[in-house]
A and B are shown apart, each in its own frame.
Chain A
């Protein structure tokens, strides 16, 4: 064999071997499907409708066996009070598990701030929960692969694999994760994964009497919730973190982070 032929054949073998490899990855149906699944859950919070009753928090804790007495919760409702002399107060006693039955602001440690009734400028309630980010910070820091984003967009924790290191709790910019005091693992909102897979609404969506909480498939453009997200003025929390949160808010104020 001549040197020229040898080189020619070498190039042909290399070219031949590399083409089918790249072709295989291009048409891998699993990857195509994963990039464009038919269901991708998103949450819609209408803050203008929330009255701070806390039924969502109660239903969530009951549905998901989160201890009532421990100061941890998968979803919570925040109260924002702006006074006419330009002071701003935020509180969420027990995550609003028992609603807001006191006009005083809970400063923690048993201290309360009395606000004069006539001094209240504007006040509103904001329900919060895990944003099930499209680019979640919490799943990236897990050293054991216990937390992940499922194909339908829900971020879950594998309770068997979780070692309770707490990295994900620190990584979440929204403080949506907590340490489960009984199971000793990281815990968070699952969008009621078990209810979604049975065709039910999540517990908080089900419990809200005012329609402040809704959920929809953001990959279905005919879904009424997707229509609202596409056509109306919605915002997300802490957009600058680049986590691409999938919980959208109607009526967001600048102070709500």
Chain B
């Protein structure tokens, strides 16, 4: 009932191009591993291994044709999404180490000290 509609619209929606590949939790980095296999293997063993590559490296679009190189987000804001310290002991957030962005090395990009592919403190640059 109430489903009277233009049938071809379903095809229109289905034919929209996808921007992200399959780098999510279910098929972890499978897509990137096709070409970057050896690199991906090293990088998925550490703590950040559950994060899809595209969350930081950007949507794959038609890479490697267009764009040839992905635009990597190295901003502080990206790391702070998870690593801002919030006093929420009852949420999953408690498991993630957090900092106060107002006092912790303000103005410096996180990646100048921390290695996102090996985030343990021993792996610091």
In the assembled complex, the CB of A91 is this many whole angstroms from the nearest CB of chain B, namely 13
A98 to B82, CA, bound (A): 10
Interface residues as binary, B39-54 with A (CB distance below 8 Å gives 1, 0 otherwise):
0000000000011101
Say whether B18 contacts A195, CB under 8 Å: yes
Chain A interface size range: 35 or more
Interface stretch among A14-22, A37-45, A174-182, A199-207?
A: A199-207
Say whether B86 contacts A103, CB under 8 Å: yes
In the assembled complex, the CB of A135 is this many whole angstroms from the nearest CB of chain B, namely 9
Is A218's CB within 8 Å of the partner chain B? Answer: no
A36 to B50, CA, bound (A): 36
Question: How many residues of chain B are within 8 Å of chain A by beta carbon?
Answer: 44
Say whether B81 contacts A161, CB under 8 Å: no
Say whether B13 contacts A208, CB under 8 Å: no
Say whether B6 contacts A161, CB under 8 Å: yes
Is A227's CB within 8 Å of the partner chain B? Answer: no
CB-nearest residue of chain B to A116: B87
Is A49's CB within 8 Å of the partner chain B? Answer: yes
CB-nearest residue of chain A to B23: A206
Which residues of chain B are within 8 angstroms of A89 by Cβ–Cβ distance?
none
Which residues of chain A are within 8 angstroms of B91 by Cβ–Cβ distance?
50-52, 123-125
Is A140's CB within 8 Å of the partner chain B? Answer: yes
Given contacts A99-B82, A194-B18, A211-B25, contact A156 B9 (CB under 8 A): yes
Interface residue ranges, A against B (CB under 8 Å): 48-55, 59, 62-63, 81, 98-103, 117, 120-125, 136, 139-140, 142, 145-150, 156, 158, 160-161, 190, 192-195, 197-198, 200-201, 203, 205-211
